[in-house]
Amino acid sequence: MGGADSDVSPSGRLRLPAQLLLGFIAGAVYTLAFAPFHYWPLTFASVATLFLLLSRAEERMLLIAWVFGLGKYGVGVSWIYVSIHQYGGVSPLLAGFMVAVFVAFMALFCLPMGWFLGKLKALDHNISNPVLAMAFVATWVLMEWMLTWFLTGFPWLFAGHSMLGTPLQGYAPVIGTLGISLVVVTITVAAMLSADSAQTSIVRLGMSGVVLVLVGLGFSLDRQVWTKPTGRYGAALVQGNIDQAIKWDADQRLINVRKHMQLSEEHWDADVLIWPEFALTLYGQDAVMVTDLLNRRGDVSHTNVVVGMPDVHWQDQERYQVFNSAQGFGRASGKFAKHHLVPFGDYVPLQDYLRGLIEFFDLPMSNASRGARNQTNIVLTLSGQDQAVEVATGICYEIAYGDSLRRQAETSGLLLTISNDTWFGRSIGPHQHMQIAQMRALENGRWLLRATNNGASGIVNPRGEITAELPQFEANVLRGEFEVMKGRTPYSKLGDIPALFLLTVLLVVTVTRSRRTNFSQETKP
């Protein structure tokens, strides 16, 4: 009567409480596959556990999938608590509640897996049927694709991100991170079916072949070079390490400028000098005085200067728009305004009702306007280049949107992201953020410069490898080299179209096979 037997039904299946506990643990462990832990085999283990639970469940499959999501996001994005409580001035209890609501909502994106497999199992009760496997792969990828756009999107903790540094990363320049996720989940379920004695020898042999082909192709693609360098240059990335609690104080803003200027003083010989997101927190004439100085210093030293700062557009004497922008000075020109705004960070939904309720809804720059979807790139003037070099830019969270950056990178020779991860303290959030940025470099076959307020600032090569990096929470300047690249990867040309095509094929085949199964069952005498 006691012990493990209480968690097992008379049929030998796990009871619902045990299924839910195992699902939650699988979701929580999934986080360890990503930075800063990098235990990437846990991606396969977590995905396999979820598939096993869903394929063997008799009921409550929606609940199992949702609980997996609770574990995944409850641990994986726990860093949101830091920004809400520590910098948003919200009490621990209320901050915990707000994070819990967010996690519960994000977990809903896992429901399609439970719903679709439940519908199929109503037609076919074969536990490890390949149809269920295809359905699981399709709905996992569908979940991640929806996370790239639904309600502004939250493309975080994709299975593909965890494959950085493994042979499977070779798929990134071809089919992108979403495509890697498809490959990872396919390998997982194929390996499970190949080891399932309940399957026919043909199915087991076929699934083993799928695993070998996908892994082998990954090794081959990882050795492929898609783009070529056209010149090597020096970069200086300024990491000011300004405390977020005082960054926007009126009496602190000029002090912040002086600190960045002092850090930059010995680095005007660099080809490119980068200040991070909102390094300047000045408006009006004060901002003009600083930008004029940056222009003069950049021109004299022949330096391309890019600075993160607010960009104010006055509509009349009372109305104005503020954009979170990166702007070029000296030999650099142009500007880029952040397009993908973060709810409650860059803007407040329903602000007429929410502003003033708690301090978190009145954070600095939480009234930013959205930059245009299609913008001209910032341009660098670099010696040895036949023409000016365009820079594809992502500000902070925007770097998570692979397809958006890809569009900018079509005509660029370099990637740039500026960020301020101070909001997330010493949590795992900034490390995950850096890992995502590395994938963008790999997808596009471009070098990437990442300048942040408090780290980790780094230089990433086209293979997604960090070639130079500053420690977090240190005021310093990172010196390093990068190369301007030409040529395009297949992903930079086609984006997510190949991955979405494969997703559609899987869904069509799954539905077709399930209907055939249902028809054959109905026509049996």
Which residue did the predictor score with more confidence, 353 or 293?
293
pLDDT given at position 2? 46
Query: Catalytic residue among 144, 277, 390, 398, which?
Result: 277
Domains of the chain (ranges; CATH) run: 11-224+495-523 (no CATH), 229-488 (3.60.110.10)
Tell me: pLDDT of 215 over 80: yes
Which residues, other chains included, contact 124 with Cβ-Cβ below 8 Å and sequence gap of 6+?
131, 132, 514, 517, 518
State the average pLDDT over residues 291-316. 93
- Whether 72 is a known active-site residue: answer no
User: Among 144, 396, 443, 483, which one carries the catalytic annotation?
Assistant: 396
Q: Does the structure show a pLDDT above 60 at 126?
A: no
Per-residue pLDDT for 524 more than 90?
Answer: no
pLDDT-derived band of residue 519, with 50, 70 and 90 as boundaries? Answer: very low
pLDDT at residue number 359: 64
Distances (CA, A) of 289 to 285, 324, 500: 6, 19, 49
Give me the residues paired with residue 250 across strands: none
Measured CA to CA, the distance from residue 307 to residue 64 in angstroms comes to 47
Flag whether pLDDT at 347 surpasses 80. no
Residue 190: pLDDT over 90: yes
Structure tokens at 191: 């390996």
Residue 404, CA distances (Å) to 282, 339, 494, 500 in order? 29, 10, 12, 16
- Alpha-carbon distance of 419 to 396, in angstroms, equals 4
Extended strands (E) in 297-419: 304-314, 320-330, 335-337, 378-380, 389-395, 414-419
pTM score: 0.93
Q: Is the pLDDT of residue 499 over 60?
A: yes
pLDDT of residue 80 exceeding 80, the answer is yes
pLDDT score of 248 more than 70? yes
Which residue of the set 121, 247, 338, 483 is catalytic?
Answer: 338
| CA 440 to chain centroid | 9
Is 144 considered catalytic here?
Answer: no
Catalytic residue status for 110: no
Judged against a pLDDT cut of 70, whether residue 333 lies above it is answered with yes
